Chains A and B, each alone.
Chain A
Amino acid sequence: MKSPMERFTERIFLVVALSSLSVLALITVFIFVEGVPIIAKVGFFRFVFGTVWAPSQNLYGIFPMIVGSVAVTLGAAVIGVPIALCCSIFLAEFAPAAVRNVVRPAIQLLAGIPSVVYGFWGLLFVVPFIRVYLGGPGLSILAGSIILGIMMLPTVISISEVSLLSLPRQYKEGAFALGLTHWQTIRTVLLPAAKSGIVAAIILGIGRAIGETMAVIMVLGNAVAIPESILDPARTLTTNIGIEMGYASGDHQQALFATGIVLLAIIMLLNASAQLATRRK
């Protein structure tokens, strides 16, 4: 028999746990209530695949922003993932304890830097660098990709390091016993074995990148045209909301909520695929 006090405390924990979940539900319901009417009014396909965003003329097409989000996030992955993987392999396999004890907290610190600081740094250093040496206005997909590539590092590094470290010792010992070198062991045994964890790490990192707003507003240029090169300015789904919410009202505001619905759907898809990746061993 559980004592009444014990049952009471369990209830409290349940309520607290559910309340955090109910916040999620509240936000979701709110976004949908605000956003669905405008999607219905404009038409789903014209909203998602429309190429002109001009709220003052009642034109709400977010396709340029979808292209922008995908381009910047892919760019961030191309820049961030190789660095993050090398770093996690180094930390898990090569780094002496002394080095690891310095590098690991430093990477955690990277995660703690506010995004506006990343954006400001990007605006002052990355953007002028691109403008002077590569051309264009500097505010560009490339600048956004570099900043987001750095911002996704902590997520990808720590999760892939954990998945490398959690492999059974026997894998490595067996490989060594077969005469493989350390690098051969990592390449042919450890990395394939930790694949699901690493894939999940990359997907979560991408989720981090696609959801980022403040840093991207500052370095991306926010133009609403579909970009033609990585040196062109672009706008992502998040920055579309961030830059226009201050003044929006009526249909315009609803269209921003509808942008949020599309973003939510993309992030849910990403998280679900990360879950799938970790489950499939």
Chain B
Amino acid sequence: MKRPNGSVGILRRIGAVLCAVALLVAPALLSGCSRTQAGTILAGSTSVQPFAEVLAEEYMTLHPGTSIDIQGGGSAAGIMAAQNGTADIGMSSRSLNDTEKGLWSVEIARDGLAIVVNPANPVQGLTTAQVRDIYSAAVTNWSQLGGHDAKIHVITREEGSGTRSAFESLLMGKVQITPKAIVQDSNGAVRQLVTDDPDAIGFISLGLVTDKVKALDLDGVVPTDAHVVDGTYKLSRPFLFVAASEPTGQAKDFVDFTLSAAGQKMLATEGLIPATVGAMP
């Protein structure tokens, strides 16, 4: 059976176009797969990521032609990437645990954790035990803590978050965070909710506290960089660069830049507490 010429022509043309597309796309895909990675790759904690990006930008401006690639993924993923060499440097926002102690690591800065509430909340400070009671839902009303008669809206971070695991290990201990807690997946989202909700409580990086939220005193200590440095404010965690073995070449150069006075000053400007004393702004 013969079809009318017209439709065959159209089919043939479509066929030709498809062939052309296939021919064009195939090499692009193949070359995409075989692209070799140049430069230094950092991966890990999304808490460290924005600060590493600032450093990398400055480093690349100072050293034209170099490339530093910053990827997220979380502390656990970053440490794993450093272990198996997927990344030159892993970023972690928690201390290394016993099975990870064999890795090379350096503290690039410290970060305080602030317990934040809405500025309209009359509560000025809490004890560690009170925060633990709030997050385990043993205390559920602000009036039990000297506030208004309102239900406490507890906000936490998602499972696996470095900020959450730091909060759990530094403050909660063995006590579990209540499953009724609202879960948000970034410091920014927690801060936004606390800004909007007069009955909310959350925890975020000290460097990210703005005047739209109120950082509570913990056990009578005001959360400031100075109190983190002198150790009186307990809620702080290290920001680490991790690698399988001591970095060499460009990776080492970048680590050195991070620890230099200039690098530490940049971290301090961004709201972190420098690891090396004397670089405070």
Contacts and interface: CB of A to CB of B under 8 A. Distances in A.
Nearest to B189: A218
Interface stretch (A202-210, A247-255, A268-276): A247-255
B105 interface: no
Given A52-B179, A137-B199, A224-B183, A246 B14 contact: no
B46 to A, nearest CB: 7
Interface residues of A, number: 40
Nearest to A127: B196
B11 A244 contact: no
A9 B199 contact: no
Contact of A246 (B73, B165, B192): B73
A223 B153 contact: no
A243 B80 contact: no
A131 B197 contact: yes
B36 to A, nearest CB: 26
B182 interface: yes
Interface in A1-52: 1, 3, 5-6, 8-10, 12, 16, 52
Given A128-B196, A225-B178, A248-B160, A12 B18 contact: yes
B178 A244 contact: no
Contacts of B14: 9
B77 interface: yes
A248 to B, nearest CB: 6
A252 B183 contact: no
Given A16-B18, A137-B200, A252-B160, A247 B183 contact: no
Contact of B179 (A6, A16, A224, A243): A224
A137 B18 contact: no
Most buried by B among A3, A54, A223, A232: A223
A8 B15 contact: yes
B193 interface: yes
Given A222-B182, A222-B184, A247-B74, A55 B15 contact: no
A247 B15 contact: no
Interface string A145-183: 000000000000000000000000000000000000000
B158 interface: yes
Nearest to A135: B151
A222 B159 CA distance: 11
A137 B184 contact: no
A266 to B, nearest CB: 22
Contacts of A248: 159-160
B76 A54 contact: no
A247 B199 CA distance: 29
Interface in B1-18: 1-3, 8, 11-12, 14-15, 18
Contacts of A252: 159-160
A137 B193 CA distance: 9
B185 interface: yes
Given A55-B159, A247-B160, A249-B77, A6 B11 contact: yes
Contacts of A246: 46, 72-74, 158, 160, 185
Contact of A223 (B46, B168, B180, B196): B180
Contacts of A137: 153, 182, 193, 197, 199-200
Given A9-B12, A137-B199, A247 B179 contact: no
B54 interface: no
A223 B15 CA distance: 52
A8 B12 CA distance: 9
B61 interface: no
A104 B178 CA distance: 47
B179 A9 contact: no
10 contacts: A5-B12, A9-B11, A52-B179, A56-B168, A221-B183, A222-B183, A232-B180, A243-B183, A244-B160, A247-B75
What 6 A-B pairs come out closest when comparing CB atoms?
A247-B160, A9-B15, A247-B74, A222-B183, A225-B179, A137-B153
Interface of A: 1, 3, 5-6, 8-10, 12, 16, 52-57, 64, 123, 127-128, 131, 136-139, 217, 221-225, 232-233, 235, 243-244, 246-249, 252
Given A10-B11, A246-B46, 9 more contacts: A9-B12, A55-B159, A225-B180, A232-B180, A233-B180, A244-B158, A246-B160, A247-B73, A248-B160
